[in-house]
Structure 1
Amino acid sequence: MKAMNGDSAKQASRPIESNANILVVDDEPRLLQSLITLLSERGFYADAALGGKAACQLLTQRDYDLVLLDLRMADMDGHQVMDFMNRRDIRAATVVVSGESSFSSVSRALRRGAYDYIKKPFDADELIATVTNALSKRQLERSHDDVQHRLRKSEELHRYIVNSSPDIVFMLDSDGRFCFLNSKVEALLGYSCGELLGRHFRHLVDDQDVAKAMYTFQDPNINATNPRTIELRLKTRGSRKANRHFEITAFPMDGNALGMKATDGVADNVDAQIYGTARDITERKEAEAFINFQAYHDLLTRLPNRALFKDRLNLAITHARRNSQKLAVMFLDLDRFKVVNDTLGHAMGDRLLQAVSQRLESCLRRGDTLSRFGGDEFTLLLPAISSHEDARKIARKLISVLKAPFQLGEHEVFVGVSIGIAVFPDAGQSMDQLIQNADIAMYHVKGRGKDGYQFFNDAMSINNTTHRLGLERDLRRALEQNEMRVFYQPQVSAIDGHIVGVEALVRWQHPERGLLYPRDFLPLAEETKLIGDLSQLVLGTACREVRDWLSDGNQKVRLAVNFSPSQVEHPRFVQQLLAQLDHFNFPAENLEVEITENVIMNDLEQMSRKLQELAAHGIRIAIDDFGTGYSSLSYLHRLPIHTLKVDQTFIRGIRAGEDGACIVNAIVAMAHGLRLDIVAEGVETAEQLQYLRELGCQQVQGFYYGPARPAEEIGGLLTGQRQSVRISKAG
């Protein structure tokens, strides 16, 4: 007999239940051992029974899932063994493996419950496939039996609950007074039966539901075949307990038909007109309320979720359009949250999100909607604003309220927020447009250094989703196909014009768009988390190329590298940087790490530890774009700062009487007082250079000495510089 189809046979070598209990029965030792060995090779374990009597004895001692049974046996044939199993209700699956192949013999075996019949000599794969299928069937039978057993238990429990009358049972007389109550009223509401008998039902019903109850119990259409079911709130004993929700089912009745007597819970002279039950559904109502809350709120922060925010935004747009008003949508993304989450764990991250939510809520007006959009992203709806200034004030308030540190257990952490703002109708006519454009504006904030706000404008439309997806694809390909280039801008001594250092700047040699500058792709690299890979490529390339210049006799040339906030804030920033320097055999004392003031002040305590560790290895620290951030003098004393880089916006103001020149004067004077080096960025004219020399600014960089250049051009300049120095000395 064919045991199974071809597809099943292919699965024969993969037993579904290798720990199944199998009994092999045969009176020929050689065949018996052959079957045991075959099963063992395929991952099954089986007991052997030499003959029918031995099989019956083992079947009474142990539960088996499957019996492989020969029919022709001298002491007790296979049919007798199956009869024995049926009498004892032994429910193991039976597969006959026998040389007896007559129709009558096969038919008898199948009638006695055999699962299948395999003729000797058998095919090994066919046998194993049949065993696998039989065990599968047995496993299903057991699962079915287990389900049936649990169903029976469940039905018994249900009958017990029903028979135990978990509901309040009551009767009302013609005047609406209680004339019968069971003891459940005391367990559920705290009243004894005696307290309520003879009192009108309205004394038990919540004041707001009395009218509904009066209408139901006095409805002339109510009858035995048309009962009324309503939900009412019933009063609990004592004012401290909240009223509970009940489902009331009531219908008229003939009280005399019950043959009631005046006992506990039954009033004298009973004239029952209404019979009813009150089922406590408080938990169900609370669950419904919770499910409804869960559907529209974030359970961690208790704020509205994305669905509720969009619903309210749609309504606000309709109202604003009808009344010719403006509204604003803000997209908020926390800065440095990932660092806290990765460093302190998700539990602390959750606590931080809750604390952030509370601070943000404190800034809202009545009618505003703050929602958690997902992860560390929030959205804020400001309906009915009069101008952009209203949104600007709220944005500034949100940024300010998050500047103070958060105390998470023993840890003091800092986060900031980047906010994109889209104003209706200028920045979008629909819900999706406003959210998307606020998101785009937020990423512009991220791109210029985080912790600020930005209104969406039409110039940002190039950053639409399609463009960003395409650019992200190209950026990933660029990293894989080595399209990134490292250029170097010389840092020149203001005294003698010699190159004393170079700043590594990345460029992208795009195959279609040509040479792209950092402003074109660094914000996207930050957004897509590719900034780490990009920075490793830049640092590795710069270390190799500058190391060659050092080996050629330019030992004092310094390499300046600017690191993004996400890199510096990473908990393993120092270890990863030192590992890279070691890998490229680059001397730490020739590296200068450039970071912005904002990055330092966002978490001064953590940054202090990191910078101290870098300085201990000989690495120099430079503050980039000095004067555009916090400009707090206190951190300059606390940190191992070596260099201040004056932002180019101040250098451009070096003309008679301009404020920019005054700021440069102050910065240079302060740096001299603190014994810090000065690098002036963006020097473009001889006038600017002369002014800076007279101030005592040691180093400059900018287009006056040319733009950033490839490594081979800088190498040529350094070679010429060395030769010039040698000629000068020889002269």
Structure 2
Amino acid sequence: MAKILVIEDELSIRENILELLDMREFDVIGAENGSVGLKMAMEQSPDLIICDVTMPEMDGYSVLKALRENPSTANIPFIFLTARADRLDMRAGMELGADDYLVKPCLPAELLKAITIRLEKQQRQQQYYLNNIKQPKVIAEPIDCDPLTELPTRVSLENLFQRFIQKVYGTYSPVFLPPNSSQKVPIFCLGLERFNRINDSLGYEMGDFLLKSFALRLSESVGDSGIVARLNGDQFAVILSPVKNKETAAQKAQIIQNHLSLPFQVHNTQVFITASIGIAFYPDNGQDIDKLLQLAKKAMNYARRQGGNRCEIYSPTFASDTDDWLALETDLRYAIDREELRLHYQPQVSLQTGQIVGCEALLRWYHPERGLISPAKFIPIAEQTGIIEVIGEWVLKTACRQLKQWHENNFKFLRVGVNLSGRQFTQPNLCERIAAILEESGIHPKYLDLELTESSLVQNAELATRRLQAIKSIGVKISIDDFGTGYSSLSYLQKFPFDILKIDQCFINNISDNPKNTAITTALILMAHQMNLKVIAEGVETPGQLDFLCRHNCDEMQGYLFGKPVSASEFQQLLSANKCLQLP
């Protein structure tokens, strides 16, 4: 597995490249500037380096010059990936010894092809050197223990795996397995979700402390009957005792995930970490640990593409799914320019008057060949690749401009709710961007509701509170969306400065027949009102649900009982016709 170092000062671009290469089974590490990148190259000897040119502290040219002057790093393949497209810039890079020079924006296929060519060339040169030059035989001692987490490393995992299999079966070869060989050994590849953000928010020292705590808790979850190893920065391998069926392994993975999802205490801050797990099985999916980890990693990447914080068992179909994912990612990057994205608006209705008082803006993608693509399919792609930041800003601008038109058409009371992704929420200049969009559109901030989910807030509650207060200082309302479906804690309602609580439709469904849903929804409405929060019920579809919400003084509703999400022109028709909800 080739190790690739990505040196890029823009966080979103760096994460995009790291995730792309990680999906292609490369061992990837990232550096946020030239000086950090140079240090990592000296310490870790990557097989290839991708580097920006314009960076703080030390530019890409200086990094390359320093690497070429050092005998231990002089021959590492080096690719510039930069927005500087002038021929003089390219010439300067190639004269310093760069192997390739790519210009942003660069398609994933173009970058992957350049990497493949350079690695193959390097491999041929090394093979020629080994075949034609006699060298003294050097036996490298394997690194048995990761210095940070004190777990076994990837180097020592093969020996540990062989000894583990011999202990379980009495033999390493599956050809000679005893009659109880129907039992399978689960191999987990476990990856933390967006750990780079924690390093960027809390610093690398805190990030290292958190990794040590995570490794300790993971080892406790697995216990003495299994093996835990650290593969690279934020990925771990787990080998468990044999199970009779795959469902048992998935249940064990869920138990581990539940244990890991509890908050970590980093000094005075509570931090939440989520992880995705991919599972392969010995001997069904392979006999050597390299193959098994490769397949488990494909399953883990598939779990991440489904939204993360879940477990998936390897299936051969994941290979084609990866190709489809990359094709969709490429198309999504051009979707705004090609005007393929649309906003639909779902009415929000007052349960005191029955009148439309607002709407939620919902994103739709009309692909020219695939037709309408479900948000459940393309939003995770946008989230993981960072495209969501560009799309999210487009959604906010488009919704505010549309709202301004409705206000000018004499519907001045109308509000609009816009979903804010987790990645958008962590942008350092978020408040400035929101204020600029409001000023540009001419919308008063009180008519904009920004909707956030719990998962985007709980990783660092203290930092999230400061950001929410900064947004509220502009005059924008903050809504907690899908409350009750994630990490729900009533303390969050006290800690975070919300204005609106949206009850998820999973509690509204069967509200009259399910005593638990009845109790939870009743308590949420009462508690929210005591905290001066407005309550909006989502997914209202039946008169019985409406009757319950009215009797318990819910403020507003949205759902198919009144209207589905519609285009801006269709929503205008609803307003013009003064469509009202018939209240019980």
The TM-score normalised by the length of structure 1 is 0.53
- Deviation of the 1:578 alpha carbon: 3.3
Given the superposition, is the C-alpha separation of residues 528 and 657 from structure 1 closer, same or farther in structure 2, using an over 3 Å criterion? Answer: closer
Higher relative contact order (CA 8 A, sep 6+): 2
- Secondary structure (helix, strand or coil) at the match of 1:645 reads strand
Q: Deviations over 1:173-221 (max 9, x none)?
A: xxxxxxxxxxxxxxxxxxxxxxxxxxxxxxxxxxxxxxxxxxxxxxxxx
Q: Do residues 701 (structure 1) and 550 (structure 2) align?
A: no
Q: Is the 8 A contact 2:142 2:156 kept in 1?
A: no
Correspondence for 2:578 among 721, 725, 731: 721
Correspondence for 2:530 among 673, 678, 682: 673
Matched residue, 2:264: 405
- Deviation of the 1:305 alpha carbon: 4.0
The TM-score normalised by the length of structure 2 is 0.66
- Deviation of the 1:675 alpha carbon: 2.7
Q: Do residues 293 (structure 1) and 150 (structure 2) align?
A: no
Q: Is the 8 A contact 1:320 1:384 kept in 2?
A: no
Correspondence for 1:553 among 410, 413, 417: 410
Q: Is the 8 A contact 1:440 1:460 kept in 2?
A: no
Counterpart AA for 2:567: P
Q: Aligned ranges for residues 385-424 of structure 1 at < 5 Å?
A: 385-386=243-244, 388-389=247-248, 392-393=251-252, 395-397=254-256, 399-401=258-260, 403-407=262-266, 412=269, 414-424=271-281
- Deviation of the 1:559 alpha carbon: 1.4
Q: Deviations over 1:549-574 (max 9, x none)?
A: 12322222111112222332444444
- Deviation of the 1:507 alpha carbon: 0.9
Query: For structure 1, which segment, 483-492 or 564-573, has the greater mean C-alpha deviation from structure 2 after superposition?
Result: 564-573
Counterpart AA for 2:211: L
Given the superposition, is the C-alpha separation of residues 698 and 427 from structure 1 closer, same or farther in structure 2, using an over 3 Å criterion? Answer: farther
Q: Aligned ranges for residues 352-391 of structure 1 at < 5 Å?
A: 352-366=210-224, 368-386=226-244, 388-389=247-248
Given the superposition, is the C-alpha separation of residues 676 and 331 from structure 1 closer, same or farther in structure 2, using an over 3 Å criterion? Answer: same
- Deviation of the 1:442 alpha carbon: 4.1
Matched residue, 1:122: none
**Residues in 2 aligned to 1:663 and 1:620: alpha-carbon distance in whole angstroms:** 25
Q: Aligned ranges for residues 54-453 of structure 1 at < 5 Å?
A: 291-294=140-143, 298=146, 300-309=148-157, 322=177, 323-366=181-224, 368-386=226-244, 388-389=247-248, 392-393=251-252, 395-397=254-256, 399-401=258-260, 403-407=262-266, 412=269, 414-424=271-281, 428-429=285-286, 435=293, 438-439=296-297, 441-443=299-301, 446=304, 450=308, 452-453=309-310
Given the superposition, is the C-alpha separation of residues 700 and 435 from structure 1 closer, same or farther in structure 2, using an over 3 Å criterion? Answer: farther
**Residues in 1 aligned to 2:483 and 2:407: alpha-carbon distance in whole angstroms:** 29
**Residues in 2 aligned to 1:466 and 1:448: alpha-carbon distance in whole angstroms:** 15
Q: Aligned ranges for residues 404-553 of structure 1 at < 5 Å?
A: 404-407=263-266, 412=269, 414-424=271-281, 428-429=285-286, 435=293, 438-439=296-297, 441-443=299-301, 446=304, 450=308, 452-456=309-313, 461=318, 464-553=321-410
Correspondence for 1:648 among 505, 520, 542: 505
- Secondary structure (helix, strand or coil) at the match of 1:602 reads coil
**Residues in 2 aligned to 1:489 and 1:518: alpha-carbon distance in whole angstroms:** 15
Given the superposition, is the C-alpha separation of residues 688 and 573 from structure 1 closer, same or farther in structure 2, using an over 3 Å criterion? Answer: same
Larger radius of gyration, structure 1 or 2? 1
Counterpart AA for 1:511: P
Q: Compute the RMSD of aligned alpha carbons.
A: 3.5
Q: Deviations over 1:133-177 (max 9, x none)?
A: xxxxxxxxxxxxxxxxxxxxxxxxxxxxxxxxxxxxxxxxxxxxx
Counterpart AA for 1:352: L
Given the superposition, is the C-alpha separation of residues 308 and 667 from structure 1 closer, same or farther in structure 2, using an over 3 Å criterion? Answer: same
**Residues in 2 aligned to 1:684 and 1:566: alpha-carbon distance in whole angstroms:** 32
**Residues in 2 aligned to 1:455 and 1:361: alpha-carbon distance in whole angstroms:** 21
Q: Is the 8 A contact 2:302 2:312 kept in 1?
A: no
Q: Is the 8 A contact 2:191 2:300 kept in 1?
A: yes
Q: Is the 8 A contact 2:221 2:259 kept in 1?
A: no
**Residues in 2 aligned to 1:609 and 1:560: alpha-carbon distance in whole angstroms:** 21
**Residues in 1 aligned to 2:499 and 2:290: alpha-carbon distance in whole angstroms:** 48
Counterpart AA for 1:566: R
**Residues in 2 aligned to 1:315 and 1:476: alpha-carbon distance in whole angstroms:** 47
- Deviation of the 1:582 alpha carbon: 3.6
Q: Is the 8 A contact 2:254 2:311 kept in 1?
A: no
Q: Deviations over 1:443-488 (max 9, x none)?
A: 56556665x4323376974872222222222222324423111111
- Secondary structure (helix, strand or coil) at the match of 1:683 reads coil
Q: Do residues 605 (structure 1) and 454 (structure 2) align?
A: no
- Deviation of the 1:603 alpha carbon: 2.1
Q: Give the fraction of aligned pairs with identical amino acids, expressed as a percent.
A: 34
Given the superposition, is the C-alpha separation of residues 314 and 471 from structure 1 closer, same or farther in structure 2, using an over 3 Å criterion? Answer: farther
**Residues in 2 aligned to 1:352 and 1:632: alpha-carbon distance in whole angstroms:** 22
- Deviation of the 1:512 alpha carbon: 1.0
**Residues in 2 aligned to 1:699 and 1:649: alpha-carbon distance in whole angstroms:** 17
Q: Deviations over 1:515-565 (max 9, x none)?
A: 112101111122222221221221121122122212322222111112222
- Deviation of the 1:334 alpha carbon: 2.2
Matched residue, 1:202: none
Given the superposition, is the C-alpha separation of residues 472 and 449 from structure 1 closer, same or farther in structure 2, using an over 3 Å criterion? Answer: closer
**Residues in 1 aligned to 2:222 and 2:275: alpha-carbon distance in whole angstroms:** 17
Given the superposition, is the C-alpha separation of residues 395 and 657 from structure 1 closer, same or farther in structure 2, using an over 3 Å criterion? Answer: closer
Q: Do residues 581 (structure 1) and 438 (structure 2) align?
A: yes
Counterpart AA for 1:683: V
Q: Is the 8 A contact 1:382 1:391 kept in 2?
A: no
- Deviation of the 1:680 alpha carbon: 0.9
Q: Do residues 692 (structure 1) and 549 (structure 2) align?
A: yes
Query: For structure 1, which segment, 574-583 or 490-499, has the greater mean C-alpha deviation from structure 2 after superposition?
Result: 574-583
- Secondary structure (helix, strand or coil) at the match of 1:612 reads helix
**Residues in 2 aligned to 1:556 and 1:504: alpha-carbon distance in whole angstroms:** 16
Given the superposition, is the C-alpha separation of residues 718 and 313 from structure 1 closer, same or farther in structure 2, using an over 3 Å criterion? Answer: farther
Gaps of 5+ in 1: 1-286, 725-731
Query: For structure 1, which segment, 308-317 or 664-673, has the greater mean C-alpha deviation from structure 2 after superposition?
Result: 308-317
Given the superposition, is the C-alpha separation of residues 533 and 372 from structure 1 closer, same or farther in structure 2, using an over 3 Å criterion? Answer: farther
Given the superposition, is the C-alpha separation of residues 377 and 684 from structure 1 closer, same or farther in structure 2, using an over 3 Å criterion? Answer: same
Q: Deviations over 1:405-438 (max 9, x none)?
A: 3436xx6351412222425269845667754564
- Deviation of the 1:699 alpha carbon: 0.9
**Residues in 2 aligned to 1:622 and 1:631: alpha-carbon distance in whole angstroms:** 14
**Residues in 1 aligned to 2:528 and 2:316: alpha-carbon distance in whole angstroms:** 39
Q: Is the 8 A contact 1:385 1:391 kept in 2?
A: no
**Residues in 2 aligned to 1:447 and 1:491: alpha-carbon distance in whole angstroms:** 31
**Residues in 1 aligned to 2:520 and 2:213: alpha-carbon distance in whole angstroms:** 39
Q: Is the 8 A contact 1:427 1:437 kept in 2?
A: no
- Secondary structure (helix, strand or coil) at the match of 1:497 reads coil
**Residues in 2 aligned to 1:539 and 1:705: alpha-carbon distance in whole angstroms:** 25
**Residues in 2 aligned to 1:579 and 1:643: alpha-carbon distance in whole angstroms:** 23
Given the superposition, is the C-alpha separation of residues 498 and 304 from structure 1 closer, same or farther in structure 2, using an over 3 Å criterion? Answer: same
